[in-house]
Amino acid sequence: MALRLGDTAPDFEQESSQGKIRFYDYLGDSWGVLFSHPADFTPVCTTELGYTAKLADEFAKRNVKVLALSVDPVESHTQWIGDIDQTQNTRVNFPIIADADRKVSELYDMIHPNASATATVRSVFVVDPQKKVRLTLTYPASTGRNFLELLRVIDSLQLTDNYSVATPANWEDGQDVIIVPSLKDPEVLKEKFPKGYTEVKPYLRVTPQPNK
């Protein structure tokens, strides 16, 4: 059964390139990004993992831990990481789950039989510190993921969790945001948004990003 937004992300224990990992323990009180790869030694995945490693500081400053997954065994992962480090000029600094028995893949519905009977699709799950699923994305095997978009969504989630706002189309950190329609009391609006706001329509009120 597919995971939906707001569902509790299933815990699991599995071997990885950094030893045995229990998902919840690995995350602790951090946000998490769990993303799957069709197989080791594949070209698109090699670029994805390399780019993710280069974004280590960006994930860290957002309190996000990254965890990749492939259905190949640990020995294969170890050899592949050497290729990734060499060809992408980086160092893979996060675990790659060795899901040879497909336990995690099935738990997270990462195998779509009509696409492939054995390989995982490019699934992405963003999980918050309460272990709730906050984002799901599924890419076809031939298309590399946009990791800058993942960072953008995490910025939006973390902002909107703490302020009564939503983020508009193509929003990026630092840009104006939208006050949620349910907030109507003028005194509350004044308190929450001291920079003021522009009322385009009664349901569309734009304000500077509150934490900037």
Q: Which residues are catalytic?
A: 45
- CA gap 78, 147 in Å, rounded: 23
138: β partners = 123
CB atoms within 10 A of CB 4: 8
DSSP string, 84-139: HHHHHTS---S-EEE-TT-HHHHHTT---TTT-SSS--EEEEEE-TT-BEEEEEEE
- CA gap 207, 33 in Å, rounded: 29
